Amino acid sequence: MGYPDIRMRRLRSSETMRRLVRETSLSADDLIYPLFVKLGEGVKEPIASLKGSFHFSPDTIVTEAKEVASLGIPAVILFGVAGAKDENGSEAWAEDGAVQLAIKNIKQAVPGLLVATDVCLCAYTESGHCGVTKDEKIDNDATCKLLAKMALSHAQAGADIVGPSDMMDGRVGYIRQTLEENGFDEVAIMSYSAKYASAFYGPFRDVADSTPAFGDRRSYQMDAANIDQAIEEVAQDIEEGADIVMVKPALCYLDVICQVRAEFDCPVAAYFVSGEYMMLHAAADAGLLELERAMLEVHYAMKRAGAGIIITYYAKELAKFLG
Ligand code: PBG
């Protein structure tokens, strides 16, 4: 049977009809909102490279967390900006570090909001690399041990989810073992499993002051040309104890999201990163597209590809729009 018995346009005739037959849903339930925290008091500074985002101190972040929760968004993910950097990035696991204090304050004030954290050394090391360096090389196993310390300090502060974003081999296993040994068997690991070496992290590096002092991240983050490796990364992370796996960035890697969704029975997250976000803003500011429509379109694309969870700087706007 074909045209004219079948007329695809019948199901597109009104917004109500389109709503009825829509295959993919988008809701506040799917979203995680990234927040940036640094030491201090009363800080709420707009971040120029990431429109609509702020640097908060551990006290002011609570008001923001309350707003996020009131919009029905289930989780925030915290990124720390270091006060002092050193060779090993030791502020990353300090009990009184900005992230640790923020976790405590948020969990106390808004216990129902899930707090996830980014676990990576790049904002804390003098080198700006995601691990400790030895002769200008990243020492994988030494880094894993420090990441496990960092994740543990987040769990001790009350984090619900820890998110290793460094791309060292074996780090999920180290973190899982450390959490188990210390009685944090209920803390989930959301692993940045397939994290690509991407130009789209540009705006974020300003935000977290984490540009590498030498070289780049290609010896640990993935090559944009690969997908088989992404599947292997995900398989290993699940094997090592990850509860949620992530593909990052999102838009250039929808095929990866799709294949991960098809091959594994594990929640899949997509990270709509800073450069993707600012790309839409820049185009809208230039009068080239309608921001709201573009925002919806890209988030539907990630959901359609198979992402059940979306980490996005649009979380608040989306939640407001979706009601
Ligand atoms: C830390 C980290 C980065 C991002 C999240 N965690 C930067 C990087 O790897 O260079 C990027 C987030 C974004 O661009 O929105 N390793």
Q: How far apart are CA 127 and CA 75, in angstroms?
A: 31
pLDDT in the model for residue 238: 98
The catalytic residue positions are: 195, 248
User: For the stretch 124-133, what's the b/e string if a residue is b when 16 or more beta carbons lie within 10 angstroms of its beta carbon?
Assistant: bbebbbbbbb
pLDDT in the model for residue 206: 79
**Nearest CA residue ID for atom 6, ligand 1:** 165
In the numeric block, the tokens 């995680």 are attached to: 32
pLDDT in the model for residue 205: 83
What does pLDDT average to in each consecutive run of 10 residues of the chain (323 residues)?
96 98 97 98 96 97 98 98 95 98 98 98 94 92 98 98 97 98 98 98 88 91 98 98 98 98 98 98 98 98 98 98 92
Residue 233 has, within 13 A of its CA and on its CB side, a CA count of 30
- Determine the residue of 50, 118, 165 to mutate for testing ligand 1's pocket, defined as the one with the most ligand atoms within 8 A of the Cβ atom: 165
Atom of ligand 1 nearest to the CA of 195: 9
CA of 274 to the centre of ligand 1 (A): 8
**Nearest CA residue ID for atom 2, ligand 1:** 165
CA of 262 to the centre of ligand 1 (A): 26
Q: Beta partners for 188?
A: 161
Cβ of 116 less than 6 Å from ligand 1: no
pLDDT in the model for residue 36: 98
**Nearest CA residue ID for atom 11, ligand 1:** 201
CA of 201 to the centre of ligand 1 (A): 6
Atom of ligand 1 nearest to the CA of 118: 6
Q: How far apart are CA 78 and CA 65, in angstroms?
A: 11
CA of 273 to the centre of ligand 1 (A): 8
Domains and CATH numbers, the chain: 22-322 (3.20.20.70)
Cβ of 122 less than 6 Å from ligand 1: yes
Atom of ligand 1 nearest to the CA of 277: 15
In the numeric block, the tokens 């309350």 are attached to: 66
